[in-house]
Amino acid sequence: MMKALLIVDLQNDFCPGGALPAPEGDKVVPVINSIMHYFPLVVASKDWHPDTTAHFGAWPKHCVQNSWGAELHPGLRQDIIHQVALKGTGDRDEGYSAFEASNINLEQYLKERSVDSLYITGIAIEYCVKKSARDAVKKGFHTFVVRDAVAGIELHRGDVERALWEMVHAGVMLVTSADISQG
């Protein structure tokens, strides 16, 4: 059983002070830092949009390539991130799922390293976390979402609860950071 940690879009623009913030986005940073070392493999996805993209028709401009907003949160421990997966890089590319990364084939990357269990953390529960988790299930990974290590935007009340329910319904297991540190 080989497990990997996926940190989804823990970028400045998705944290308080950013362009499209999850109100508690920064709160998950210490939680993720505290579990990272339990994983032999850690991948971080980044939303990585061009300056103009159809995606900004639906959303405020965020995570533009090489901008401050696209940087990983400065509090996140970065020395044991093995691979960054860049997504949403095209001008018509939504890139909600980490499995849509354009710089690597994430499925292949994980399977080549014998990963069978993927633990997902990060932002935003309703969009990129959900899409990544559902793709992970479809691609055959045992898929876990670490409940206290994910944050939502909650554009409409109930969005986060609904997204969690949809993930569980799709075969995702919810765990907590305590489950991981207690083995």
Cβ 131 to ligand VGL shortest distance, Å = 8
Rounded CA-CA distance 98/96 in Å is 7
**How many residues sit in the footprint of ligand VGL (CB under 6 A)?**
9
Cβ 88 to ligand VGL shortest distance, Å = 7
Is 128 a catalytic site residue? yes
Q: Strands 117-123 and 83-87, how do they pair?
A: unpaired
Cβ 127 to ligand VGL shortest distance, Å = 3
Residues 48 and 72 sit within 8 Å (Cβ to Cβ): no
**Span near ligand VGL by CB under 6 A; candidates 67-75, 123-131, 158-166, 171-179:** 123-131
Cβ 3 to ligand VGL shortest distance, Å = 23
Q: Does the protein bind ligand VGL through residue 128 (CB under 6 A)? A: yes
Q: Does the protein bind ligand VGL through residue 47 (CB under 6 A)? A: yes
Select which of 9, 13, 26, 135 is catalytic: 9
Nearer to ligand VGL, 14 or 99 (CB): 14
Is 79 a catalytic site residue? no
Select which of 13, 26, 128, 131 is catalytic: 128
Cα torsion through 145, 147, 150, 155, rounded to 10: 110
Rounded CA-CA distance 75/73 in Å is 5
Rounded CA-CA distance 110/100 in Å is 14
Residues 6 and 145 sit within 8 Å (Cβ to Cβ): no
Rounded CA-CA distance 113/177 in Å is 23
Q: Does the protein bind ligand VGL through residue 44 (CB under 6 A)? A: no
Q: Does the protein bind ligand VGL through residue 144 (CB under 6 A)? A: no
Number of residues that make up the chain? 183
Residues 12 and 18 sit within 8 Å (Cβ to Cβ): yes
Would you tell me which residues interact with ligand VGL (CB under 6 A)? 9, 14, 20, 47, 59, 123-124, 127-128
Which residue numbers are catalytic? 9, 87, 128
